[in-house]
Structure 1
Amino acid sequence: MDPPRSPSRWRQRLLIAAIALVVVLFFALGLHRQLTLEALQAAHGALLEQRRQAPLLVAGAYLLLYVLVAALSLPGAAVLTLAGGAIFGVGLGTLLVSFASSIGALLAFLVARTLLREPVRRRFARQLAPIEAGVARDGVLYLLSLRLAPVFPFFLVNLLMALTPIRAASFYLTSQIGMLPGTFVYVNAGTQLAQLRGIGGILSPPLLGSLLLLALFPWLAKAALGRWQTWRLYRRWPRPRRFDRNLIVIGAGAAGLVTAYIAATVKARVTLVERGAMGGDCLNTGCVPSKALISSARLAARLRRADRYGLEPQEPRLNLRRVLERVADKVAAVAPHDSVERYEGLGVEVLRGEARLLDPWTVAIRSDTGSEQRLTARAIVLATGAEPVRPDWPGSEAVPLLTSETVWGWLAQCPLERPRLAVLGGGPIACELAQALAQLGLPITQIQRSDRLLRKEDADVAAEVHQALEEDGVTLHMDTEVLGFERDPAPGGAVTVLVRQGERQGRIACDAVLCALGRRARLQDYGLEELGIPTGATINTNAFLQTNYPNIYAAGDVAGPFQFTHTAAHQAWYAAVNALFGQLRSFQVDNRVIPRTTFTDPEVATVGLTEAEAAARGMAVEVTRFPLHELDRAIVESAERGFVKVLTPPGSDRILGATIVAEHAGELLAEFVLAMKWGLGLGRIFGTIHAYPTLAEASKYTAAAWKKQRVPQHLLPWLRRYHTWRRQG
């Protein structure tokens, strides 16, 4: 059964029908033959007489006719503009034409937006994305330049701008101002109607050149203003006559390392400054150690559930110290990739110490011994990363309040065989560590202030993770607020977390508290305030990752808006290339397709929109789901938990977002990331051969589910008759 047609669809059809009727009548009544220069010259005297007898009626009729012609992009707008001058003179004619053309343009804009914007965006979303971004930033300047240069067709400007996110009010006001010079030229020419031999002769080459120069004026003014602002910004700092380096990078995490690597590869002289361990949080306290811990935890969980594989389940014997030794070994195995030796071998100068900006080109580097070195560079990249948030609750100084950075050392030195941890938070870090430690056999209590975990994910995704954590032994307290801490004064005394759930207050006993409430950018002690570099939650940058000083860039967690290692490396390419070659060409960061993975068991991997985000934006979407319990490889692996969920626009296979809850979801997501990046729809995924039996077939079967929903049901009875006829020989 076909779905009922929406009211908006009927309104669109009525609008198309009305427009078609008016256009047909326009040509059927021969009005197009009246809107020519010859016809205007022949009727000039009669029109002047009519205006003399009924000036308001003629002006109103002229205004309405002009609006209609402009709104429907009918031929004759240029002749009507000449008629404004010929009938009403320069003053009144310019006024009437200015308002009529702007109102007509607005109506054409609204009609095109209503009928074309969504279909075009569905079909050409990837191609339109950079245009929409540019219009969102400089839309008024674009439109003003197009209006000031009358060589651009009137109707085409209306159509193209309707496909962009520019507001209707901005479109109207800019059109009103921008078309005024061209309007005046044509209206003034109309006052000399008898001498005109053709419309094409109105814009002489000098006049056309003047209008084109006028169209460039907004951009020239913007560029001049930008240069003046930059001059004011830099004028208080003495510029070096020569520079020690091409580039100085502050911070040796993912963003800093990749930036320095690229600079050295293109033979720039680059210095990398790091005050802590090379590799940053990801290598030393984040991605690498946590995933090493998770791999051990997964094995422990499999041993407890060995009956799923036809084996005897058993409780693993936990030796926490040996597990953490393995974690340290894995960190040490990866460390050479980020080591000083490797980067010096690549041509990067690596300096250990605290870096501070003294001016836009000078960095002071203070070593552990207290000595200071000053270096200048044409460009500087700030890649200082982020650090865990550590709220100051009552009693927090008296308890072991750990973070994702300090938990490793505490666990390694803890004398308890199975220490009890209270994990605060419900985001990815909290869920990953809580589940992994519980799978290893530690008593874990997780406290979340809101009503569910993983707030960035859909509710059905969070529910799967919630259930998985509980099955692995995590005690979850939802809708629970932390009030503070108490500690037994005896040496090694237990910790009590004071909480409130609704109207009830409670006490949760543990040996330490792991605070996993998010991360914040490292902004202090780098000289940002002294230079006047604006910051909020992160360093403020433009689309090219520049701060207010064009030669100072920021990348990675400190620049935001994402806090992933892969986005830090992604931004590093833009920071390095723009810093070194920006005078030749700069590149805007492409943040359209950003994947994320939460490494719980099962994993959660997402790219693009979620259902909740689509609903918040008021977007109509179709949701296609494929449950993993229908996938052969998942069945034989006893990994049936989870699903694939894909969002598409109604009637289109274009992928707006995908979420996977499954073992190895992070690997499975890559196909959807690739498809979204390059504009491939579900139809292309369905038509791609996937090896059998693999988990990757889940992508193909999701596409098949989307296809199945579009089988033309009304044709199936006819196909049955056709096959019956074929059997009859």
Structure 2
Amino acid sequence: MSATLTPDVCIVGGGSAGLVVAAGAAQLGLDVVLVERALMGGDCLNFGCVPSKALIAAARVAQAQRSGAAFGIAPVEPAIDFGKVMDHVAGVIASLAPNDSVERFEKLGVRVLAEEARFTGRTELQAGSHRIRSKRIVLATGSRPTVPPVPGLTEVPHFTNETIFANRILPSHLVVLGGGPIGLEMAQAFRRLGARVTVLEAATCLAKDDPELAAIVVARLRREGVELHERTRVARIERTAGGIAAVLEQGGRIEGSHLLVATGRTPTTDGLDLDRAGVAHDRHGITVDDSLRTSNRNVWAIGDCNGRYAFTHMAGHEASLFIRGALFRAPAKLDPSIVPWATYTDPELAQVGLNERDARARHGGDVKILRWKFAENDRAQTERDTDGLVKVVTDRRGRVLGAGIAGPQAGELIQSWCLALAGRLKVSTLASFVPPYPTLGETAKRAAGSYYTETLFAPRTQRLVRFLARLPVW
């Protein structure tokens, strides 16, 4: 017989977004039920951010052994035990898993059901033997890898981000479908760990990023030996004696030992019976307004499943907006102008706000572009890591519209520009702060200061300064 639960908040999905809501609502004293059909921690902990960055860190150590000549240190080819590399990856996941565990959330007062949930009405769900009725239902079901309709693909063994971190054999030749962030992060990491890597991209690599900045990353990957084929369409995938082959539409074929499909993400909405709850959705995800509410006023959709921003940090941010808006009944709307993202290649690539292309489309001629190269930063010079550029977009009055960085630690350095966007700051604020020397953080001040270069050293300013110099000292 079904047991009926009537929590204040019911959450479907135990990934980044759902766990933030569950922890926050429970600590506010509410009765909370969390339904998760698979692994607690979701994609980020188990198949995404955590394992990928752990693998990238191992690859960076391997690359450092090859890169000592400029420092007077003899370069060596690292001896890589790929099984132990993957032990490192698994160990990092295991060390973080207790933060997302059933045990932790039950201690917070959350009732966790290891079941699959589906709607049976507008405010009612069935999860295993449990019937759940709630006035506040939060869908946080995440996303899954998109598998494109390439003939033959489903008939050959292939990796996605959900399976590649369980692999313990270093591919001799990894073929990657997709030149987006996931594809290029994995391509560089596996190349640094000793695999031959070929990337096949139907359009251009990192197409959603500023082309000027993306080109810096692409150039580094090519120098490291990653074979990048842009504007290359795959006609079909075939199994071969040694692995797989990608047959290209323009002719020719590329053979490899293993295949990684990294062609994007698809919101996970299957099995929810959304129509029974009157929740609008399409292939892009669950439809929400800026307060993350669906077409059913009792249901919210946060994180990847709403198709807006497939980033862990945005899942957490959207969860906080739900808590603020639905629980505290305070104004809480999603602001697309403050959304950052980062690609953790080397050099890293990060962006917040508008890039040059989008700013010119929206503001026309009322745009000013500021640039500062890492080659002009003393700390970057000391570390022999000078590939990169800070690129800032402002309007003619100095208001920051967006910023992008390709360079070392771009994911860290973008944060000052995230603050500028969130605080609606002018570039003068970034130009006036005092960073410690020597740091990569000085690039923000230098880029911001370049806004004033043309005016500060113009002939009119020079005449004014010469005039003032003739006056008595005061």
The TM-score normalised by the length of structure 1 is 0.62
Q: Which residue in the other structure is 1:171 paired with? A: none
Looking at structure 1, the residues matched to 461 and 332 of structure 2 have their Cα atoms a distance apart, in angstroms, of 50
Pairing 1:548–2:295 present: yes
Report the equivalent of 1:151: none
In the aligned structure 1, how far is the partner of 2:115 from the partner of 2:254? 42
Matching residue of 1:393: 150
2:172 pairs with 1:419: yes
Aligned residue for 2:416, secondary structure, equals helix
Counterpart residue number, 1:300: 62
Alignment match of 1:433 (pick from 175, 182, 186): 186
The TM-score, its normalising length taken from structure 2, stands at: 0.95
Number of the residue aligned with 1:278: 40
Asked if 1:529 corresponds to 2:286, the answer is no
Partners of 2:238 and 2:336 lie apart in 1 by: 45
Please report how far the alpha carbon of residue 420 of structure 1 lies from its aligned counterpart in structure 2 after TM superposition: 1.5
Structure 1 residue aligned with 2:29? 267
> Aligned partners of 1:334, 1:545: CA distance in 2, in Å?
28
Unmatched 5+ residue regions in structure 2? none
Q: Deviations over 1:112-135 (max 9, x none)?
A: xxxxxxxxxxxxxxxxxxxxxxxx
SS at match of 1:402: coil
2:316 to 569, 582, 588: 569
Displacement of 1:274: 0.6
Matched residues in 2 for 1:243 and 1:485: separation? Answer: 49
Q: CA deviation at 1:616?
A: 2.8
> Quick check: 2:5–2:130 contact (8 Å CA) kept in 1?
no
2:125 maps to which residue?
A: 363
- Residue 315 of structure 1 aligns with an amino acid whose one-letter code is E
Q: Is 1:408 aligned with 2:165?
A: yes
C-alpha distance 659-586 of structure 1, shift in aligned 2 (>3 A): closer
Please give the residue correspondences for 1:427-466 in structure 2 after superposition, counting only pairs within 5 Å.
Answer: 427-450=180-203, 452-466=204-218
1:162 match: none
Give the counterpart letter for 2:442 in structure 1. Answer: E
Alignment partners' CA distance in 2, 1:559 and 1:477: 32
The one-letter amino acid of 1:385's match is G
CA contact under 8 A between 1:247 and 1:378: conserved in structure 2? Answer: yes
Q: CA deviation at 1:394?
A: 1.9
- Partner residue, 2:16: 254
Q: Is residue 380–residue 579 contact of structure 1 (8 Å, CA) maintained in 2?
A: no
Q: Deviations over 1:586-610 (max 9, x none)?
A: 5323333111101110001111111
**Which residue identity is paired with 1:717?**
R
Is the CA contact 1:543–1:588 (under 8 Å) kept in the aligned structure 2?
A: yes
Contact 1:251 1:385 in 2 (8 A): yes
Change (3 A) 1:377 1:599: same
Distance in 1, matches of 2:192 and 2:36, equals 35
Say if 2:171 and 2:257, in contact at 8 Å, map to a contact too.
no
Q: 1:524 offset after TM fit, Å?
A: 1.1
Q: Shift in Å at residue 478 of structure 1?
A: 1.4
Aligned to 1:469: 221
Partner of 1:487: 239
* Paired amino acid for 1:635: Q
1:662 and 1:706 map into 2 onto residues whose CA distance is 21
Aligned partner (choices 354, 357, 368) of residue 609 of structure 1:
354
Paired AA for residue 420 in structure 1 = H
Structure 1 residue matching 2:380: 3-state secondary structure: helix
The one-letter code of the counterpart of 2:200 is: I
AA aligned to 1:396 is L
Tell me if 1:660 matches 2:400: no
Letter aligned with residue 290 of structure 1: S
1:601 aligned partner, one-letter code? D
User: 5 Å matches for 1:564-713?
Assistant: 564-582=311-329, 585=330, 587-620=332-365, 621-650=367-396, 652-711=397-456, 712-713=458-459
Q: Do the aligned residues in 1 keep the contact of 2:7 with 2:134 (CA within 8 Å)?
A: yes
Query: Separation in 2 of the partners of 1:378 and 1:724?
Result: 75
Matches of 2:389 and 2:18 in 1, distance apart? Answer: 37
- Work out the CA distance in 1 between the residues paired with 2:415 and 2:324: 26
Task: Verify the 8 A CA contact 1:553 1:579 in the aligned structure 2.
Answer: no
Taking the aligned partners of 1:471 and 1:277, their CA distance within structure 2 comes to: 39
Contact 1:655/1:682 (<8 A) preserved? yes
CA deviations 1:525-581 (Å, max 9, x no partner) are: 011023332112110112221111111111000113111001111111122343334
Indicate if the aligned counterparts of 1:554 and 1:575 stay in contact, CA closer than 8 A.
Answer: no
Structure 1 residue 726 displacement after superposition: 6.6
Using the TM superposition, give the Cα deviation of residue 396 of structure 1 relative to its aligned residue in structure 2, in angstroms: 1.6
Q: CA deviation at 1:477?
A: 1.1
Give the C-alpha shift of residue 724 in structure 1: 6.2
SS across alignment from 1:672? helix
User: What's 1:380 paired with?
Assistant: 137
Counterpart of 2:177 in structure 1: which amino acid? L
Amino acid at match of 1:495: I
CA distance in structure 2 between the aligned counterparts of 1:356 and 1:599, rounded to whole angstroms: 36
Aligned residues: 467
- 1:245 aligns to what SS in structure 2? coil
1:721 CA drift (Å):
5.4
In structure 1, the gaps of 5 or more residues are: 1-241, 367-371
How many Å separate the matches in 1 of 2:107 and 2:227? 49
- The Cα of 1:399 is off from its aligned counterpart by 1.6
SS of residue in 2 equivalent to 1:363: strand
Query: Following the alignment from structure 1 to structure 2, what is the Cα–Cα distance between the partners of residues 384 and 530?
Result: 17
Tell me the equivalent position of 1:716: 462
Q: 1:722 to 1:530 in 2, by over 3 A?
A: closer
- The one of 76, 80, 87 aligned to 1:314: 76
1:343 aligns with 2:105: yes
SS at match of 2:333: coil
On the 8 A contact 1:439/1:473 being kept in 2, the answer is no
Instruction: Determine helix, strand or coil for the equivalent of 2:79.
Output: coil
Taking the aligned partners of 2:95 and 2:70, their CA distance within structure 1 comes to: 33
**Bigger Rg over Cα:** 1
**Partners of 1:551 and 1:579 within 8 A in 2:** no
Relative contact order (alpha carbons < 8 A, sep ≥ 6): 1 or 2 greater?
Answer: 2
CA distance in 1, matches of 2:422, 2:363: 23
- The residue aligned with 2:248 is 499
Q: 2 CA distance for matches of 1:392 and 1:281?
A: 23
Higher share of residues assigned strand:
2
Which residue number corresponds to residue 518 of structure 1? 264
Do 1:421 and 1:443's aligned partners in 2 also have CA atoms closer than 8 Å?
A: yes
Letter in 2 for 1:565: T
Instruction: Check the 8 A contact 1:244/1:376 in 2, yes or no.
Output: yes
Point out the structure with the larger helix share: 1
Task: Tell me how far 1:618 sits from its aligned partner.
Answer: 5.0
Contact 1:379/1:580 (8 A) holds in 2: no
Aligned residue type for 2:44: C
Q: Which runs of 4+ in 1 moved over 4 A?
A: 724-727
Superposition RMSD on alpha carbons, in Å?
1.7
* 3-state DSSP of counterpart to 1:444: strand
